[in-house]
Every structure is written in structure tokens, then in C-alpha cells.
Amino acid sequence: MKKNKETKFIFITGGVTSSLGKGIVGASLGVILKSKGLKVTLQKFDPYLNVDPGTMNPYQHGEVFVTEDGCETDLDLGHYERFIDENLSRINNITSGMIYSEVLAKERRGDYLGNTVQIIPHVTNEIKNHIVAATKQNDFDVIITEIGGTIGDIESLPFLEAIRQFQFENKENCIHIHLTLVPYLNSSGEFKTKPTQHSVKELRAIGIQTDVIVCRSSKIFPQEIKQKIALFCDVKTDDVIMCPDAKSIYEVPIYLKNEAIDTVVLQKLGLSQSNSNLVEWENYINIIYQKNKPEVNIGLVGKYTALSDSYLSVTEALKHAAAANKCDCKITWINSETLHQSDGSKKLDECDSILIPGGFGDRGITGKLIAAQYARETNIPYLGLCLGMHIAAIEFARNILNLEDAHSTEFNPNCNDPIIDFLPNQKQLSEMGGTMRLGAYPCVIEQNSKLFSIYKQKEISERHRHRYEFNNAYKALFEDNGIKFSGNSPDGKLVEVIELTDHPWFIACQFHPEFKSRPYKAHPLFFDFIKQTLKLTSS
């Protein structure tokens, strides 16, 4: 294995405003470097004090992404995996909460030998340890580390100090990329560089000199703007990389490659230049921009529909599957809280199929039950993910099995027919964070099923994030009335997938297949869902 000093490190920070797309820029750079034959991984360091985003409201932080090893992470990890097509783990997402927890645990154990525990050096040392942690697991050529937040935030100062120290200690193996905004003022018809200048000045004040500046803008700006930024920020003109708004995030690797970011980065890191191959990305872009494709309309029924990032992996998986089927995918966002029996069909009639994603809590459950019933009765495709499987089972129990009080104990602990109940090992838990069934688990597929025709495998592995399961006491009753349990845990104790035998396409799974979808490798379940929807709309 290489020594740590031979691994190259790229740090990405953001200035001027949040939500500029540090994660997309980092992931795109990872795509380009990987296409050159380099072994790349990405990390996200988030300054918030939560240990992980697992208990955070999706409206505040978007979806929670889950890795193979069961770590609940920031949604940027999803971008990383989708772009570089590599499975990441808990070492790739670090929060202030994790760092401070570890420092305090060491203090309680006496690891600091009675010394006063301080931000510098104890917290910064812990951060630096995590920067190189990935090198102990794999022989990476390049590690790209994104520092969350915006320059000037109090919360991110320990991380910035840590990377300042790290860069000083590893001068030949580190570079710093700063992402800023170059706004265009319509009133004067000018691009403004002052926000970028001030952001770089903030970095200088804490001892960090920027090596590459990536400039977000609403449109392409002239060479003179690059020259001005270079002059005032002490970088070469070639080190100023333009990144204008794109129709699709999957265009960004192409944009950055055209700006020669790879040439700049490899030269600064002392790595040899080699040809890259982005043919798969170019083909994917060509497909999604192809005109006059057929369109399918997917009704996505949830309670966080005001913020699409709440279901980011689901929407991206739908887009991947649509591209693979050479069609366009329109997503109709339906707030389950506003879906009522009296007018539910009006909102659902325009949808070609229904998808109910995962979620927690009883808010909006009635609307989701209405949507599942509509899909079952009208024979349009239905895909239920995690909670979407629970909804399908409850709706079937109530309306087909006539179990009027069928419910989940998550929503009604005292219901007469607990179709969905706690996992056996969850009943005594008192804490919410990190205590669910998390990460990849195997699933055995029944060969005589739609599921087998989709996966074409007897055993698969998918990622989970839940603490409630189908109650096996009702299994025989469901099977006698048209439900096939087509996917189960290897020991047969946990139901993973249900499907309706007398429906064209009605599948609901306990796991989250969206986490494993890739732009040009659509997940088989999403691919077949779109394929069947397209088939029905074309008939």
C-alpha cells in the first residue's frame, strides 16, 4: 500500500453564498480524474453538530442518503456515488458532531493525559485523522474533500484550520479549490467579481491560499472577467474555471473538462497527464436532450413535496430510468396531506403511474392510502419504497381483506390488526438516531415472480433504512388473496418485496433501490417501472 504522503488531497470550499454546488463540482472532478485511470474517492465534512443527518427534517437538509455499511449521510454522498460509480462508507461523511463526540470520549478515557482539551490541537488533529482515514482502507490516488458551509461561518472554522495545517504539512500533495459566485447584474449589464475577491480575502485571513477558483455564474462570462479574478486573487488566468448554469447536473463534468480543470489540477499535484474518456457521460447527455421523445407522467406522492431534495435519490433514479428507456419523465408532485377521498382521483387521473417513497410519521398517511388504492384499482403501475410498501399492505388489508382497523403500529400502536409492526430487536430502543435497520442486506427472490424477471437473479443486495416490518402473522391471509411475497430475507423471517399477482405492475419493497441507481446504469426496478409505464401509455 502507498504511504499516506503519496496520496494527493484536494480540498473544496465555498464562498459568497450557500448551495453553489460544491458537491457537484467535487463529484464532477472525481469523474474526470477517474476517467484518466486514477483511483478517486470523495469526502464530505459537515460543520453541523448533529452526529449525522438521520434525525433531521428533510425540509432543513434534504434527503438522508444511506451507504452500504449503514451510515446515514448528507445527500452529497449520493451525488458522489452516482457520479464516480463507487460505493462509499461512513469514513466519507464526517460532521462536527462526530468529531466532538470522539474528542470528548477520548477526554473521558484520559487519552489526553490530563491536558486541557482545546479546539487546537485536539479537535483539528481529530479532523486531520479523518482526512487520511480513507487511505488506510484503500490505495487511493486522489481524495477530494468538500468542506460544508460557506467561508465566514463560525461552525466551519475548525475544519478550515485543520485543512490549513494539513496543507502546510503536506505542501507537495495538496491543493485548494474555492467555489464562488460571479453574479450578473441585469440593471448594469455587468458581471461582478467583488464577491469572489472578498471570499478569497477571507480565506487568506485564516492562512489559506486558493490554488484554483471555480466560478458559478448564470451564463458564460468573457475572458476579461477571468483575468480580473486572477489578478486580484493571485492565481493564473488558467486557474480560474468558469462553471455556468447547466440544464442538467450531469453536464457539469463536460463543462469542467472543456475548461481544462483536469490539466490544471494534475499539473499542480504533480501527476502525469493522460487522456480521459467521458463517452458514457456524453451519450447520457445526448439522450436526455434528445427531442420528440415519448413522455411518462409519474405521480410522486409524499409529504415533503415542497422541496424536491427531500426525495433526491428517487427523482434521480426516475431520470436515469427514463433515459435508459429513451423517454422523458415528468414528475407530478402530490402532497399526500392534501389528497382526499372526495377529490383524490382528480389529482391522480393525470398520472400514468404512482410512486410512494419512504418516510416517517403519520402525517399524510391517509392521502398515501388513497393513492395506493387508486393505482391498484385502475391497474396503473405502482412502486412503493419502504413506507410505500407499508402503505400498499395496509390498503390491501383494509379494502380486500376487510380488516378495517389494519394499520402500522408506527401510526396506531393499539390497532386491532398490526399489519406492520416493530422489528423484533427494535421494541426496547429508546434512542432514535442510528438505531434502525440500516445499510445493505441480502434478499432472496422467488423465481416465479415479476421481481425475478426484473432482477434476473436469485439473490440481490439492497440498502435499508427502517425499523418497522410486515407482520408475518398475516402472511398466509395475504397470500390466499393475491399477494406474492416475492422477496424475503435469506432466513425467511423478513418480508422484503410484495407484488400483486393480478395487476400489470404493482411492486412494493422494504428497501431503498434509489440509492444504487447511476446515470447510465439505471436501477433494474426503476427501469422496469418506467418501461411498463411507457408501455401502458403507448397502448
Catalytic residues, by residue number, are 386, 512, 514
For residue 120, give the amino acid letter.
I
Q: Mark 237-263 as b/e (b = at least 16 C-beta within 10 Å).
A: eebbbbbeeeeebbbbbbbbbebebbe
If you count them, how many residues does the chain have?
A: 539
Report the candidate in 475, 488, 369 with the shortest Cα–Cα distance to residue 419: 475
Report the candidate in 528, 391, 385 with the shortest Cα–Cα distance to residue 462: 385
Farthest CA pair distance, the chain? 75
Report the distance separating Cα 491 and Cα 401, nearest Å: 27
The three grid cell numbers given for residue 21, joined into one nine-digit string: 454546488
Specify whether the CB–CB gap between 431 and 472 falls below 8 A: no
Report the distance separating Cα 72 and Cα 93, nearest Å: 9
Specify whether the CB–CB gap between 349 and 316 falls below 8 A: no
CA–CA distance from 377 to each of 52, 95, 142, 519 (Å)?
Answer: 40, 46, 53, 33
DSSP state of 159: H
State the SS3 of 160-224: HHHHHHHHHHCHHHEEEEEEEECCEECCCCEECCHHHHHHHHHHHHCCCCCCEEEEEECCCCCHH
Report the candidate in 96, 93, 92, 90 with the shortest Cα–Cα distance to residue 51: 96
Specify whether the CB–CB gap between 250 and 276 falls below 8 A: no
For residue 126, give the amino acid letter.
E
